[in-house]
Amino acid sequence: MTFLPQNFDLDIQSFGVATAVIVAFSMGWVTALVRVNHQLPDFGGLVLLIGALYGVNKVAGAVGSRMDDRPK
């Protein structure tokens, strides 16, 4: 199992582990809805949620990198 630690970094700063969990949950939710209703649901809410989380993460990363560049 040495493949995972070398080639898969769990500290993903540009995407965020929380966002990955939200995306995985959303995929499961959509799969469950498709199995029950036999049709695709409206993806507008999911796109807005994931996009908002991604945007907040990018802004936080930019602000954090600016704070690191300040002289102490």
How do residues 30-70 score in pLDDT, each as one tens digit? 999 999 999 988 889 888 888 888 888 788 878 877 776 66
Residue 41 lies in a domain: yes
Average pLDDT of the segment spanning 7-19: 58
**Can you give the residue range of the structural domain that contains 46?**
25-62
Q: Is residue 20's pLDDT more than 60?
A: yes
Burial code (b: 16+ CB inside 10 Å, e: under 16) for 33-62 equals eeeeeeeeeeeeebeeeeeebbeebeeeee
Quote the number of domains for the chain: 1
Average pLDDT of the segment spanning 1-19: 55
Residue 55 lies in a domain: yes
CB atoms < 10 A from the CB of 16, how many?
A: 17
Q: Is the pTM of this model over 0.75?
A: no
Residue 69 lies in a domain: no
* Residue with more model confidence, 19 or 26: 26
